[in-house]
Amino acid sequence: MDTTVVESWKDFMELSSRFEGWAFRGQQDARWHLQSSLSRYLHAYVSDKDQWRSREARAIRIFRRKAHNHVPWPKLLHDDLRCLGLMQHHGAPTRLLDFTKSPFVAAFFALERATSDSAIFALNTPALYDDRARPRHAPWLTRDTIDPRVKGNMEKYFLGNDNEVVWFGEPEEMDGRLIAQSGTFVVPGVIDRPLHRILDGYESDEPLLRKIVLPVALRADAMKWLYRMNVTNASLFPDLDGLARSIAVEIEMVWPTQTLG
């Protein structure tokens, strides 16, 4: 995986413009691999990998049995990708990885609480969308073939944890947060290895993943630029929780002409 360390926010803006149509994910620690919350949780608390498949299936089953009490349209729980997306956005560990089509949204998530060098991963979604990149071991597993929005495909190609594939996209119906964040989901076919290891098994004539390291020294300048661009928790999470979370950055954004009264 190619890695670039940028020296300034200006350098990042220039570099990000080269990734037309790609998807991005920001992580506050540059040392972290691209792993889903479910992968991290299972690695930490369930040592027997033979149980991972049944543990994930049980988590989804329990959520579906109980979430109907809290959602206005319980039928959406029978849509596999929408159900996992709902779980993800409300804090449950899932195999989904949140990406965004905006490098600046990714930068915000990378830098907001960073206290050391952070990173943005850029995924070559155009190559995956056009099937210019396919799994070397199973080139017949095209994007359309494994599409988890098709009934039965999540179980067939993903939940079994035996297909080293990657799919990206959104549910047919997107919720408010996904829209506000220009979000998309990346769905790995196995959860016992990070995303870059899965992509290493793809046949492609072009890079599929790039890593951009953001030194902590550029955080202050970057956060001011993002604030001016209205990339804040209040805009990315359009609800009271988002507004409350945005106040932390408001504490930082005191301009020279302002008073603290």
Residue 117, Cα to own-chain centre: how many angstroms?
Answer: 19
Residue 255: inside a domain, yes or no? no
Residue 69: inside a domain, yes or no? yes
In sequence order, what are the residues at sequence separation of 6 or more whose Cβ sits closer than 8 angstroms to the Cβ of residue 179?
none
Question: Model's pTM, two decimal places?
Answer: 0.92
Chain segment 117-162, per-residue pLDDT in tens: 999 999 999 999 999 999 999 999 999 999 999 999 999 999 999 9
Rounded CA separation 121/18 (Å): 14
List, in sequence order, every residue forming a beta bridge with 202; answer none if it has no partner. Answer: 135
Q: Note the helical H segments in 124-171.
A: 125-129, 143-146, 153
Q: What mean pLDDT do residues 222-251 have?
A: 90
Total of domains in the chain: 1
Residue 22: inside a domain, yes or no? yes
Q: What mean pLDDT do residues 199-208 have?
A: 97
CA distance readout (Å), 258 to 129, 193, 253: 48, 49, 10
Rounded CA separation 231/228 (Å): 8
Is the model's pLDDT at 178 over the cut of 50?
yes
Rounded CA separation 200/85 (Å): 26
* pLDDT tier for residue 256 given thresholds of 50, 70 and 90: low
Residue 203, Cα to own-chain centre: how many angstroms?
Answer: 23
Lowest-confidence region among 102-116, 141-155, 167-181, 192-206:
167-181
pLDDT number for residue 258: 52
Residue 17: inside a domain, yes or no? yes
Residue 255 sits at φ, ψ, to 5 deg, of: -80, 160
Q: What mean pLDDT do residues 243-254 have?
A: 85
pLDDT number for residue 257: 58
Is the model's pLDDT at 99 over the cut of 50?
yes
Residue 35 token pair: 């792993």
Residue 245: inside a domain, yes or no? no
Q: What mean pLDDT do residues 77-98 have?
A: 94
Instruction: Return the DSSP state at 148.
Output: T
Lowest-confidence region among 65-69, 92-96, 167-171, 206-210:
65-69
Tell which residue, 111, 92, 118, 114, has the closest CA to residue 37: 92
Could you tell me the residue range of the domain that residue 181 belongs to?
2-230
Lowest-confidence region among 19-33, 100-114, 173-187:
173-187
In sequence order, what are the residues at sequence separation of 6 or more whose Cβ sits closer than 8 angstroms to the Cβ of residue 80?
148, 149, 151, 153, 154, 155
pLDDT number for residue 261: 46
Residue 260: inside a domain, yes or no? no
Residue 242: inside a domain, yes or no? no
Q: What mean pLDDT do residues 174-189 have?
A: 93
Residue 9: inside a domain, yes or no? yes
Q: What mean pLDDT do residues 90-114 have?
A: 97
Chain segment 34-76, per-residue pLDDT in tens: 999 999 999 999 999 999 999 999 999 999 999 999 888 888 8
pLDDT number for residue 255: 60
* pLDDT > 90: percent of the chain: 83
DSSP E strand stretches across 66-223: 97-100, 118-123, 134-135, 166-169, 183-188, 202-203, 209-214
